[in-house]
A and B are shown apart, each in its own frame.
Chain A
Amino acid sequence: MDQPFFFHALKVDDKACIGCSHCMNACPTEAIRIWNGKAVIDDNKCVDCGECFRVCQVNAIYVEDNDFEQIYRFKYRVALFPAVFVGQFPEEIKVSQIYSELHKIGFTHLFEVERAVEILNESIVDYQENKENELPIISSFCPAIIRLIQVKFPSLVDNILRLGTPSDIAAHFYKQKLIDEGIPVNEIGIFYITPCAAKIAAIKNPVGEEKSIVDGAINLNRLFNKVYRNIKQATEDVLISQATELFSYEVLWTLTKGESSRVKGRALAIDGINSVMEFLEKVENREVHNIDYLECRACKEGCAGGILNPQNRFLTVERLNKRVSLNLKKNKQFSSSGIVNYKEYLNEKMILDKLVPRSMMMLDSDMALAMKKMVKAQKIEAELPGIDCGACGAPSCKALSEDIVKGDATLSHCVFVQNVLMQNGEINMETAFAIIDKIWGEHKVVKGSIKSGK
């Protein structure tokens, strides 16, 4: 069994948070509440999709990553980066310049993770042969989607493809390759340059694997800034690059339709976490039939839309498409990465353990108690105004009524209920303000007027 809690890379900075509730309303799993004037994320419900990060006006949601210096714990430092990393740079910057800067800032080896797609793609097609698969097979690529399924669609966990991601495979390959070159294993550090929080969480707390093969994650945004600045300031010549070109379908793999267009049978690609939820709802009801494969990505335009990408996602997609057409024109021979020589080894390493559901929607693990709570919650909900104003610090009246029966809130959190209680003389103004302060933080409300966030 896995640990009972997920590790999360997204955190709330209490100093910066003004409790504006934008994130609470944007969260697809209703994981956020406002308490003491600050957003609080429920670790059991969060799936690391990053929607809260996107909507925060004051950058109070941040991604907790390891510091760059971590790479120096190792003598040999491998940077695994996704094709979207290169897609962040303006076109006039050559791939060789980017490679060269990555070396200069401390990486001894560089490898574009999509170079592992060739092997993965073959394995997926083989995997599809198995008549015992639950259909549709759902791609295991996006860690936010895996977590979403565990938490919200537990009956679909068996549909998830039990093969690892290109970054896992690339990591296994590179580590073994260096070991075979005679480098001691404890001197090799593998770092993944990540476009999102979900991948960081997946590295720290992997699903379907004992421990991640990757030693650390590096925030793509931070690294981009470092590299881009160095390129701008560079005067020296570019170092020799060890760039190996990718096949066209490898370049496009992490973008929408990149994967679905390369598998057998009827395959659909769905991007954006809300669209994915809408579709999985249908799959769970068996409302849709005869689909063989589903590529689901939490971000719109796939990883080009990852929250740690500084560049606009459409421009990233454009740059990657241009790279593909350039390659086709050049029609040049590949400098081999050697990954195909490790095919058998990697085929074995990429198999994931059975995934477990972690349904977090339940009111109580004991069904009889859950039923009692549900009846109570329904009664409470009927008393609430039903306008989902959010002033209680919960995203909807339904959510508040469930919080109440779970013991996480009280009926008087509702401002309408407070009003009635006050009119009946059951609580006084002081108490009502005290409740409001508890939710929205002190001094936000002064004699009935809302002060500015300061």
Chain B
Amino acid sequence: MMQFEYKVEGGDFTNAGNASSEVKKILKKLNVSPKITRRVVVALYEAEVNIVAHAYRGDIIVEIDTEKIRIQLNDEGPGIDSIEQAMTEGFSTASEQVREMGFGAGMGLPNINRNADELNITSEIGKGTNLEIITYLNKEN
């Protein structure tokens, strides 16, 4: 198993996407199929932007073995009020400014969900949110 760690700063849109780009490079080197790579990267990018847009800071831990890719994103931030609502298509808590930049146009969690084989969310108001995104490698779709 291999493990990689990245840090994300809240409010730093310039560097949002760094972790996804790094992970993409790794998956290409590991000969993971382009389709799966794309799903992982899209889900991770979305999750990364969520932290930048809403939280103060966060950590990303990526674990890769020959069966799956497991990504954990732990942030310190306001937390999610209603996970159910946040999972609804079209719902976004992103501020006007964030939306103008083309980020978080209501695509956040549902989009992550669509690109993950498993998505687990836990959140505590006032503390932060933990996301677990799992993608299986031998499930070509």
Residues of A within 8 A of B24 (CB): 284-285
A363: B residues at CB distance < 8 A: 29-31
Return B34 CB to nearest CB of chain A, in Å: 4
Interface membership of chain A positions 262-295, coded 1 if the CB is closer than 8 angstroms to chain B and 0 otherwise = 0000000000000000000110111111000000
> What per-residue 1/0 map shows which CB atoms of A335-375 lie under 8 Å from chain B?
00000000000000000000001010111111110110011
List residues of B (1-54) whose CB comes within 8 Å of A's CBs.
Answer: 2, 17, 20-21, 24-26, 28-32, 34-35, 37-38, 41-42, 45-46
* Nearest A residue to B1, CB-CB: A371
Q: Chain B residues with Cβ under 8 A from A282's Cβ?
A: 17
Query: Which of B20, B26, B29 has the most CB atoms of chain A within a 10 A radius of its CB?
Result: B29
Cβ–Cβ < 8 Å partners of A286 in chain B: 41-42, 45-46
Determine how close the nearest CB of chain A comes to the CB of B62; give it in whole angstroms: 13
Known A368-B66, A371-B2, A371-B66; contact A284-B38, beta-carbon cutoff 8 A: yes
The CA-CA distance from A274 to B35 in the complex, in Å, is 24
Interface size on A, residues (CB 8 A): 26
A374 proximity list for chain B (CB < 8 A): 2, 26, 29-30
- A374 CA / B1 CA spacing, docked (Å): 11
Q: Which residues of A contact B30 (CB under 8 A)?
A: 362-363, 367, 370-371, 374
- Measured between alpha carbons, how far is A26 from B2 in the docked complex, in Å? 32
Contact assessment for B42 and A285 in the assembled complex, using a CB-CB cutoff below 8 Å = yes
Q: Known interface pairs A155-B37, A359-B31, A361-B28. Does A367 touch B66 (Cβ–Cβ under 8 Å)?
A: yes
Evaluate whether A371 and B64 lie within 8 angstroms (CB atoms) in the complex, with A154-B34, A155-B37, A286-B42 already known.
yes
B66 contact set on A, CB distance < 8 A: 367-368, 371
Q: Decide: B17 and A285 in contact? CB cutoff 8 A.
A: yes
| Complex Cα spacing A362 to B33, Å | 11
Chain B nearest Cβ from A340, distance in angstroms:
39
**What distance in Å separates the Cβ of A279 from its nearest Cβ neighbour in chain B?**
13
A155→B25 CA distance, assembly (Å): 12
B137 touches A367 (CB 8 A): yes
Is there contact, CB below 8 Å, between B17 and A287? Answer: yes
By a CB distance below 8 angstroms, the chain A residues around B37 are 155
Known contacts A289-B102, A361-B28, A370-B29; is-contact A155 B45 (Cβ 8 Å):
no
List A contacts of B61 (CB < 8 A): none
In the complex, residue of chain B having the shortest beta-carbon distance to the beta carbon of A377? B29
CA distance A289 to B111 in the complex (A): 13
- The docked-state distance in angstroms from the alpha carbon of A374 to that of B41 is 19
CB distance from B112 to the nearest CB of A (A): 11
| Cα separation A282 to B31 with both chains bound (whole Å) | 20
> Do A285 and B21 contact each other (CB < 8 Å), given the known contacts A155-B38, A371-B64?
yes
The 8 lowest CB-CB distance pairs between A and B, nearest first, are A155-B34, A362-B31, A154-B34, A155-B38, A361-B28, A370-B30, A285-B45, A286-B42
11 pairs of residues in contact across A and B, judged by CB atoms under 8 Å: A155-B35, A284-B24, A285-B20, A286-B45, A286-B46, A357-B34, A359-B28, A361-B25, A361-B28, A362-B28, A365-B31
